[in-house]
Chains A and B, each alone.
Chain A
Amino acid sequence: MVELKLSNKEAYYQQTLENIPSKTPFSEFWRKFKKQKLAFVAFFFVIALILLAFIGPFITPYDITEPDYENVLSGPSAEHWAGTDAYGRDIFSRVLAGTQISLYVGLTSVLLGAIGGTFLGIVAGYYGKRIDSIIMRICDVLLAFPGILLAIGIIAILGPGLGNVIIAVAIFSVPMFARIVRSSTLAVKSTLYIEATKSIGTRPKRIIWKHIFPGTVSSIIVYFTMRIGSAILTAASLSFLGLGAQPPSPEWGAMLSGGRDYLNMAPHVTIFPGLAIFVTVLAFNLLGDGLRDALDPKIKE
């Protein structure tokens, strides 16, 4: 009897253990994130965009550089879903092929900016004192410039081209990342477990890598996602101004620029690349919003 009771109890415990959801940080995040319906949709849209960036250039219905002078500026039709541009090139194909360029520019530039900014932010936050002052004052100077103006200035020095746009956007992403990472670093640094780690004589390098950096990751991810949107927008603006992608590249901003003379008579030339920029930036921003809500422990359900 006693044995039986015991086994019953065991079974009971086992059952309850299975029922209680395992609270790993990721599953907790995923559970919260799924509740953000809009961000959830944006998440899948972004995944789709990334897929498109890889396969886009291979699935275009028309050659993106092949002109067709008999068929210029024609509106959307069954043959050309988004119409044709001033040279008779298929706009839908060009928007598809342009996905790769915009995402590439957005992701690389923000990644570079995030790496630089995170490094500076952690160094400033962890070591403090003079290093902190110097780094943060430099960031203040950079932040005092309006972003696009700073980017134009950098391009003016480096010369136009997509590579330089990436560098320009990366540079003006650095100070914001540095600031955010610094503040997280300060918060983590003053916690008890860091004090404990220090007191047993762990080296700074190990403290930073194993304890502080992981603590800042969530804010980096959120800002990273939000930043991609504005990076894509800035890159498109620079191309619109003729400072970024050069013709005949199907970069969205460059396409907008090429179509602006026809706004009155052929608005589709600007609407479709404009819509692509709009939807992409919106998706990244919504995703960023959702990630923030899901990752922020202060927000209660």
Chain B
Amino acid sequence: MKKTYGWLSAFVLVLLLVLVGCSDSGSKEGATEKEGDGKKATKEGKDLVIAVADNFTTLDPHDTNDTLSNSAEKTMMEGLLGFDEKMTVVPLLAEEYKANDEATEFTFKLRENVKFHDGTPFNAEAVKVNFDRLADPNSGLKRHSLFALIKSTEVLSDYEVKFTLSEPFGAMINTFAHPAALIHSPKALEEFGDEVGKNPVGTGPFKFVEWKPSEGLKIVKNDDYWNEEFPKVDSITFKPVSENGSRIAMLQTGEADFIYPVPTEQVEGVNGKNGIEVDSKPSIVVRYMAMNTMKKPYDDVKVRQALNYAINKDAFIKVVMNGQGEKLDSVIAPDVQFYSQQELYEFNLEKAKELLKEAGVKEGLKAKLWGGNSSSTVKAMEFLQQQLAAVGIEVEVVPMESGTLSDKIWSVQNADDAELELYYGGWSPSTGDADWGIRPLLGGADAFPPKSYNVSYYDNEEANKLISAGLQTADENKRAEAYADVQKLLWEDAPWVFLSADNTLAGKKNYLKGVYLLPDGSLSVSEAEIE
């Protein structure tokens, strides 16, 4: 009988907990209607803690292909050029640059009196050492591909350097501004060799102290920074915290001053409370559903357009993105260079059904939708499944673990063997240039997996011509024209179902200024300031 009471009391206890949980949610709903509590958080000292979602992979920018590690590298190192808050190119270690019309020669005039953290002076020779390292095909660096076109780097004078490309490449200026082109101290490169990724030495506003992959990265103020206005904080510690809930809790308790990312569904719950602000900004991350244009029935443009009409984009943003996004109205997001707006495919079930009928697609078409297995991706795929059911397409959602997924997509050697039908994915062109937002994804047979990311197997001669036209010149007007045409063409040919452009979401205490996310999702902390 004792056991019986044990069970009973356990049951009552759980029931109580559940009831407490319920009543709590009730009171919360009331609170969200108010516009925050207006509290101002305060901070002692000038040491910042930033909680991020992942570990850094390396601190060698030449060998980095994740945005997060780039963010950390940018605090300690600088490139010739950089991006500002709107992702436009601004000069950093270069004062000005010139390019010839064919986009094959680029000359930079460098900033004078800049020193690396180890005392080595910054000059044309240092630039050459870095770009020779990047352009060397035997280096095995992850970012070699961005700079493979550099044929030679010449030192013209102490503060003048000229790059010559092996073929015209109109997007080169943006490539120089990419975080992959950050400059190491030549002394450090020599001293540490392959270990330079653990001992970064640059010209940036912060100096490296220590980095323990599981605990985080610590950097301190560089007192000799060339821009005397900065840095305005003494030290910054980056902590990797993969659990969404813990990151939020760290911000709430003040253990962290800035967190990134904030999960979309948490925004309402924390924004404006306890001195917490959530910054929501448009990003250049696009979300789309790719259709294999070599497979029936998606080889018919009517079917592809029909699917675009069949998806309610407003509902997609509301349900899947929790309102944190904008409808996608081109293949690239508005903040990408040379973006041109297209006319939306308005949600219209009748039109979708009509187009499907014209294309001879019968009710009950079966389709497989592939994608990753994170909860937000699965949610998006389930949403698409529901929407396509309304026009009589039975979609099977197949979430896959990332290893399996890339194996399934990128191990296919011959385009005709591809099993892929529909794929839900996203893309962020981190050079901020239209070229990197279009060519790897839709740039014809050269971009088919496994070479690149053209999972739509889209190969349109006219589009290919326009894409390469955009690269043949450094003339901004000619490039803009070519990209405007290609965007129009791609929009009408609809190799994707165009869904949304994400917002980036970062949470911070409201005493913190100058820490922000760039549209490509990388973090800028150089101008950090505590009020």
What residues of chain A have their CB less than 8 Å away from a CB belonging to chain B? 37-38, 65, 67, 69, 72, 75-76, 86-88, 242, 246-248, 257-258, 260-268, 271, 275, 278, 282, 286, 289
Q: Which of A38, A65, A88, A258 has the most CB of B within 10 A?
A: A38
Who on chain B is nearest to A274 by CB? Answer: B18
Report whether B319 and A264 are in contact in the complex, using a CB–CB cutoff of 8 Å: no
Whole-angstrom CA separation of A189 from B81 in the bound complex: 86
Chain B contact-residue range equals 35 or more
Q: In the complex, what's the smallest C-beta–C-beta distance from A170 to chain B, in angstroms?
A: 24
Which residue in A38, A260, A275 is a CB contact (below 8 Å) of B375? A260
Chain B contacts to A: CB under 8 angstroms: 3-4, 7-8, 11, 14, 18, 21-22, 24-26, 28-29, 32, 245, 263, 265-266, 268-269, 312, 315, 318-319, 373, 375-376, 378-379, 381-383, 385-386, 389, 396-399
- Which chain B residues border A37 with CB–CB below 8 Å? 4
Q: Which residues of B contact A282 (CB under 8 A)?
A: 7, 11
Given the interface pairs A38-B7, A260-B375, the reply to whether A265 lies near B14 with Cβ below 8 Å is no
A and B contact pairs by CB, cutoff 8 A, 28 listed: A38-B4, A65-B386, A67-B319, A69-B312, A75-B29, A87-B382, A87-B383, A242-B373, A242-B378, A242-B399, A246-B396, A247-B381, A247-B382, A247-B385, A248-B382, A248-B397, A260-B375, A261-B375, A263-B245, A264-B265, A264-B266, A265-B268, A268-B25, A271-B18, A271-B22, A278-B14, A282-B11, A289-B3
Complex Cα distance, B62 from A21, in Å, reads 89
Q: Which residue of B lies closest to A38 (CB)?
A: B4
Q: Which 8 A-B pairs have the closest CB atoms?
A: A69-B315, A247-B382, A67-B386, A264-B269, A261-B265, A38-B4, A267-B25, A267-B21
Q: How far is the CA of A37 from the CA of B7 in the complex (A)?
A: 12
- How far is B11's CA from A262's CA once the two chains are assembled, in angstroms? 25
* A-B interface contact total, Cβ < 8 Å: 81
Report the bound CA distance from A248 to B315 in whole Å: 18
* A246→B397 contact, CB < 8 A: yes
A75 to B28, CA, bound (A): 12
CB distance B21 to A271 under 8 Å? yes
The complex places the Cα of A76 from the Cα of B22 at a distance, in Å, of 10
Instruction: Flag if A87 contacts B21 (CB, 8 Å).
Output: no
Complex CA distance for A148 and B7, rounded to whole angstroms = 24
Are B319 and A69 interface neighbours, CB within 8 A? yes
Q: In the complex, what's the smallest C-beta–C-beta distance from A82 to chain B, in angstroms? A: 11
Choice from A67, A247, A258 contacting B397 with Cβ under 8 Å: A247
Expressed in whole angstroms, the minimum distance between the Cβ of B363 and any Cβ of chain A is 17
With a cutoff of 8 Å between Cβ atoms, the chain B residues found around residue A38 in the complex are 4, 7-8
Which chain B residue lies CB-closest to A76?
Answer: B22
Collect the chain B residues with CB atoms within 8 Å of residue A261's CB.
Answer: 263, 265, 375-376, 379
Q: A67-B386, A69-B315 are in contact. List 18 more A-B contacts (CB 8 A).
A: A65-B386, A69-B319, A75-B26, A88-B319, A242-B373, A246-B398, A247-B385, A258-B379, A261-B375, A261-B379, A265-B25, A265-B265, A271-B21, A275-B18, A278-B14, A282-B11, A286-B7, A289-B3
CB distance from B395 to the nearest CB of A (A): 10
A86 touches B379 (CB 8 A): yes
Task: Establish whether residues B269 and A257, one from each chain, have CB atoms under 8 Å apart when the complex forms.
Answer: no
Distance between B518 CB and nearest chain A CB, rounded to angstroms: 26
Is there an interface contact between B319 and A75, defined as CB atoms closer than 8 Å? no
Chain A: minimal CB distance from B342 (Å): 24
A69-B318, A242-B373, A248-B382 are contacts. A265–B7 as well, Cβ < 8 Å?
Answer: no
A267 lies within 8 A of B319 (CB): no
A87 touches B263 (CB 8 A): no
A87→B386 contact, CB < 8 A: yes
Contacts of A246 in B (CB 8 A): 396-399
**Which chain B residues border A257 with CB–CB below 8 Å?**
375
List the A residue with the shortest CB-CB distance to B316: A69
Which residues of the other chain, B, contact A263 by a CB distance below 8 angstroms?
245
Taken together as a complex, chains A and B put the C-alpha atoms of A86 and B397 apart, in Å, by 17
Instruction: Say how far B374's CB is from chain A's closest CB, in angstroms.
Output: 10
Q: Which residue on chain B has the smallest CB distance to residue A42?
A: B7
Closest partner residue, chain B, to A285 (CB atom): B7
* A266 and B312 contacting across the interface, CB-CB below 8 Å: no
Whether A267 pairs with B22 at a CB distance below 8 angstroms is yes
**B17 — nearest CB in chain A belongs to which residue?**
A271
A67 — which chain B residues lie within 8 A by C-beta?
Answer: 319, 383, 386
Q: Is the CB of A86 within 8 A of B319?
A: yes
Nearest-neighbor residue (CB-CB) of A278 within chain B? B14
Q: Provide the residues of chain A in CB contact with B24, threshold 8 Å.
A: 267
Cβ of A289: which chain B residues have Cβ within 8 Å of it? Answer: 3
User: Which of B11, B376, B381, B386 has the largest count of A CB atoms less than 10 A from its CB?
Assistant: B386
State how many angstroms separate the Cβ of B392 from the closest Cβ of chain A. Answer: 14
Interface centre among A65, A264, A267 (most CB of B within 10 A): A264
Q: Which residues of A contact B383 (CB under 8 A)?
A: 67, 87
Cβ B25 vs Cβ A247 within 8 A:
no
Docked complex Cα distance between A282 and B266 (Å):
33
Most A Cβ at <10 Å: residue of B265, B373, B385: B265
Greatest chain A CB density within 10 A among B8, B14, B25, B268 is at B25
* A260 neighbours in B (Cβ, 8 Å): 375
Cα of A87 to Cα of B389 in the assembled complex, Å: 14
Chain A neighbourhood of B399, CB < 8 A: 242, 246
**B315: which A residues are within 8 A, CB to CB?**
69
Residues of B within 8 A of A247 (CB): 378, 381-382, 385, 397
Report the minimal beta-carbon distance from B433 to chain A, rounded to whole angstroms.
34
Q: A175 vs B302: C-alpha distance in the bound complex, in angstroms? A: 57
State in angstroms the CA–CA spacing of A267 and B19 once bound together: 11
Residues from chain B with a CB closer than 8 A to the CB of A266 are 25
A72 to B386, CA, bound (A): 14
Least CB distance, A50 to chain B, in whole angstroms = 21
Residues of B within 8 A of A267 (CB): 21-22, 24-25
